[in-house]
C-alpha cells in the first residue's frame, strides 16, 4: 500500500545529447513513495516530446541510479507547457522502453 508521493527533487537541471549530437538542457522533478518502491519522473523544458527518450536514457545511466532503488517501479511524464492551441499544460506518459 502506498500512502502518497513525496517530492524528492524539483527542477533538477541535467544535460543530454539530442538526436543531432547537440547538448541540450532539461529539467526533471522526482516524486517517490515513502518506501521508495514507486517513483514518478516529470521531464520538463524539453524542445519536443521526441527528445524525451534520449533525456530519460541519460538520466537512467548518469543520475537515477544514485537517487532511486534498483527495483523501483518508474513512471515517466513529459510535461508540455500551455500553448495558444492548448490552454492548459499537457503531459505525455512515456513508455519505459526508452
Q: How confident is the model at residue 80 (pLDDT cuts 50, 70, 90)?
A: confident
Residue 47: exposure state from Cβ atoms within 10 A (0-12, 13-18, ≥19): exposed
Q: Are 70 and 35 in contact (CB under 8 A)?
A: no
Topology annotation, domain 5-94: Alpha-Beta Plaits (3.30.70)
**pLDDT, tens digit, for every residue of 16-73?**
998 888 999 999 999 999 888 999 999 998 887 788 899 999 999 999 999 999 999 9
Please check the confidence at residue 1 and state whether its pLDDT lies above 60. Answer: no
Of 32 and 97, the structure prediction assigns the larger pLDDT to 32
Residue-range domain boundaries for the chain: 5-94
Tell me the whole-structure pTM to 2 decimals: 0.79
Amino acid at each position: 500500500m502506498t500512502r502518497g508521493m513525496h517530492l524528492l527533487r524539483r527542477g533538477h537541471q541535467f544535460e543530454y545529447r539530442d538526436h543531432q549530437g547537440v547538448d541540450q538542457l532539461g529539467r526533471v522533478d522526482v516524486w517517490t513513495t515513502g518506501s521508495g518502491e514507486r517513483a514518478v519522473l516529470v521531464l520538463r523544458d524539453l524542445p519536443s516530446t521526441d527528445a524525451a527518450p534520449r533525456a530519460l536514457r541519460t538520466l537512467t545511466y548518469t543520475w537515477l541510479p544514485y537517487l532511486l532503488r534498483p527495483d523501483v517501479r518508474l513512471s515517466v511524464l513529459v510535461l508540455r507547457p500551455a500553448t495558444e492551441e492548448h490552454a492548459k499544460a499537457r503531459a505525455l506518459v512515456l513508455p519505459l522502453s526508452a
